[in-house]
Amino acid sequence: MSKSDLRSMIEEGERLRRSNPAMAAFHLVLPCAVLIGVIAVLIVSGAAARVGAAAVTAFFFLGKLIILNGGIDNPFEMTTLQFAVMVFFLDLWVAYTVGYNLHHIYRIPRLGPWLERLQNYCRFWIVRNPWMKRWAFTGVALFVLFPLTGTGAPGGTILGRLVGLRPRTTLIGIAVGSALGCGMMAAFAEQLRPYFERVQGEWWFKALGVVILGILLLLLYRLGQRISRASDEYARSDAAGGDA
């Protein structure tokens, strides 16, 4: 794979926009309309602030791990099922938006370089796990299933395209992986609920939760940094080899 992988995806989107502008417009309008509709429902129900805060926390920090908060009292006042549905929706919405509108997203300031780094990250995963290319659909589903990949749906979408999947197939793979991942996280939270309920009022339990969460976030950050550095080094060595 060459550094033109992302460029090829963008050019493919541009070709669709020129050859079938109605379909290209549909792919752009649909996720916007769905998001506006969901936000409107949340505003009417009075849950926009807490669900929005939970969505930001899940997207930028905890990922699927936020579902475990459903087993205890949490500042978002959400149940395990509500967390799971929220994360599943976020995964599908991001996968559809990125998969079908990459050529538009690339034009947004500061997102272009981020997409390049995300591509390098996904290519690094393929090199380290060559079975992902042979078992493309399964690889994408597993990539999104595990909560520690650090990329979630955006990375899964790019990964799917890099291993040769079409946008629709990639979206289905991400839906399968997200559903399995969210389901397992929800089941784990529900199994722990009886234990949490007995001690969740104790001050030491709350303090322990804060400490564990802090350690987990630190470990995830350090892991992400190590993988990011390794993927950048791979991208530089690959570029040097291509120039030679």
Average pLDDT, the chain: 80
Contact in structure between 71 and 193 (CB atoms under 8 Å): yes
> For residue 1, what pLDDT band results from cuts at 50, 70 and 90?
very low
Which tens digits make up the pLDDT trace of 130-156?
887 788 899 899 889 876 554 578 888
Q: Which range has the worst mean pLDDT, 28-37, 137-146, 186-195?
A: 186-195
Query: How confident is the model at residue 124, as a pLDDT?
Result: 76
Query: How confident is the model at residue 29, as a pLDDT?
Result: 96
> For residue 82, what pLDDT band results from cuts at 50, 70 and 90?
very high
Contact in structure between 141 and 107 (CB atoms under 8 Å): no
- Residue 2, pLDDT > 70, answer no
